[in-house]
DNA sequence: TTAGATGCAAATGTTTTGCATTGCG
DNA sequence: CGCAATGCAAAACATTTGCATCTAA
């Protein structure tokens, strides 16, 4: 709610600092994206955006999502379904989270586990890498689908 | 080398058990795939396959890779570059491995860490999921790129 | 002999790009 | 006003599919 304001300011600063411009379309997309919950695909976003302004083109949406990712407002995921999904970027002060994905119904649960984060740093160090980010996804059957199968 | 033989037999068994057929094309693709090292993309495979038999179509390659995955000979990965990559499936008796990917040069290193595997099971249990597989990728700068930057 | 496999071309789905026009700063 | 952004259509990719033809079993 005022998360919107905060991220709006963040984006506005990023945009103006680079000589870019804040447009009506970008405002709409940012708003829809932040309201839209987690793990939204581009086609889902496009539908909601067009409910507000039917003239917004998909090229603009793709370009804007790239901008949101670059500016740190959004983060990008590629689960195993061929479409890129976005979610609001996490506040760096919060713990990183990863995903549990149901292979049957597609439900996505989140978890965070400090041990995993620690081990990752350890592994990277052993191989001489400096980590920037990572991705961890667990695939399986969610409780609902499990009980439905049994 | 006789890994080829072993996997060849495995595939042959899978194929015949389902009433499918072993073809010249499938032999070539299997051979190239197994020789081809790790994390090969379809376009890389296609080039090598066509060096042996220039008439093999990309549809056949895609169809065959799907077959190799289904039969358990290959496993599939989607790193962040839009193209599906394949590597020989691991022997289930071996520990599962994950990947470290250099964001600068694209180098891919492998690692295995039993602690991670244990934690994953733990997390899945907490959420009531039954895991089938997972994916863990660490992105960062490899030692070479790090020293080049410094 | 016959169902499955192939090769080609065309279709699909996702994302990008060229370009004339619009609009923010 | 000037440069960035938009919208559209077309292009660019990766992958799949329809279909006539070929071939392994």
Record: contact A119-B124, CB cut-off 8 A: no
Positive or negative torsion for Cα B6, B7, B9, B14: positive
Question: Region A23-49: what's the mean pLDDT?
Answer: 93
Chain B contact for A136, CB < 8 A?
yes
* Top-confidence residue, A132 or B128: B128
Whether pLDDT at A92 is above 70:
no
Q: For position A106, what pLDDT does the model report? A: 78
Whether pLDDT at A150 is above 80:
no
Chain B contact for A21, CB < 8 A?
no
Whether the CB of B1 is less than 7 Å away from nucleic strand D comes out as no
Q: For position A117, what pLDDT does the model report? A: 86
Q: For position A32, what pLDDT does the model report? A: 96
Q: Which residues of chain B have pLDDT under 50?
A: none
What is the C-alpha separation between A74 and A22, in angstroms, rounded?
17
Contact B57/B45 with Cβ under 8 angstroms? no
CA A101 to chain centroid: 15
Contact A142/B132 with Cβ under 8 angstroms? no
Q: Which of B80, B132, B146 sits opposite A139 (nearest CB)?
A: B132
Instruction: Tell the burial category of B142 from Cβ atoms under 10 Å away from its Cβ (0-12, 13-18, 19+).
Output: buried
Whether pLDDT at A91 is above 80:
no
Q: For position B133, what pLDDT does the model report? A: 83
Question: Region A80-99: what's the mean pLDDT?
Answer: 82
Strands of chain A, DSSP E: 40-41, 74-78, 84-88, 98-102, 108-111, 130-141
Record: contact A123-B141, CB cut-off 8 A: no
What sections of A53-140 are H helices per DSSP? 58-71, 114-127
| 3-class DSSP assignment, residue B56 | coil
Mean pLDDT in chain A?
89
Chain B contact for A118, CB < 8 A?
no
Distance B30 CA to D18 C1' (A): 26
Task: Name which of B89, B79, B86, B87 is nearest B135 in CA terms.
Answer: B79
Question: Region A48-69: what's the mean pLDDT?
Answer: 96
Cα three-residue angle B84-B87-B93, rounded to 5 degrees: 135
Chain A contact for B109, CB < 8 A?
yes
Question: Region A96-113: what's the mean pLDDT?
Answer: 86
Nearest CA in chain B to A103: B132
- What the block records as the tokens of A13 is 């600063």
Q: For position B61, what pLDDT does the model report? A: 98
Record: contact A135-B140, CB cut-off 8 A: no
Q: For position A19, what pLDDT does the model report? A: 95
pLDDT per residue over A93-102, tens digit each? 667 889 998 8
* Top-confidence residue, A23 or B149: A23
Record: contact B138-A128, CB cut-off 8 A: no
Distance B32 CA to C6 C1' (A): 18
Give the number of other Cβ atoms within 10 Å of residue A11's Cβ.
22
What is the C-alpha separation between A71 and B135, in angstroms, rounded?
27
Give, rounded to a whole angstrom, the gap between the first and last alpha carbons of chain B: 41
pLDDT per residue over B14-44, tens digit each? 999 999 999 999 999 999 999 987 889 999 9
Q: For position A55, what pLDDT does the model report? A: 95
Give the number of other Cβ atoms within 10 Å of residue A93's Cβ.
5
Which residues are registered as beta bridge partners of A113?
A: none
Whether the CB of A92 is less than 7 Å away from nucleic strand D comes out as no
Nucleotides, chain D, CB distance < 7 Å: 3-10, 13-18, 23-25
Query: In A 27-86, which Cβ lie closer than 7 Å to strand D?
Result: 53, 55-57, 59-60, 63-64
Contact B56/B63 with Cβ under 8 angstroms? no
Task: Name which of A112, A87, A79, A108 is nearest A97 in CA terms.
Answer: A112
* Top-confidence residue, A36 or A129: A129
- What the block records as the tokens of B26 is 């499938």
Q: For position A27, what pLDDT does the model report? A: 97
Distance A125 CA to D20 C1' (A): 57
Q: For position B1, what pLDDT does the model report? A: 57
């Amino acid at each position: 709610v005022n998360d919107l304001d905060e991220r709006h300011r963040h984006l506005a600063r990023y945009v103006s600092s680079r000589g870019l411009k804040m447009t009506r379309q970008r405002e709409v997309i940012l708003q829809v994206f932040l309201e839209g919950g987690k793990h939204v695909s581009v086609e889902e976003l496009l539908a909601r955006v067009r409910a507000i302004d039917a003239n917004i083109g998909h090229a603009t949406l793709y370009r804007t999502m790239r901008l949101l990712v670059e500016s740190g407002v959004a983060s990008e995921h590629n689960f195993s379904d061929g479409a890129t999904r976005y979610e609001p970027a996490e506040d760096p002060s919060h713990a990183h989270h990863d995903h549990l994905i149901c292979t049957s119904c597609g439900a996505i649960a989140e978890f965070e586990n400090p041990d995993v984060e620690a081990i990752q740093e350890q592994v990277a160090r052993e191989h001489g890498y400096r980590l920037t980010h990572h991705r961890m996804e667990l695939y399986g059957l969610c409780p609902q689908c499990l009980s439905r199968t049994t």
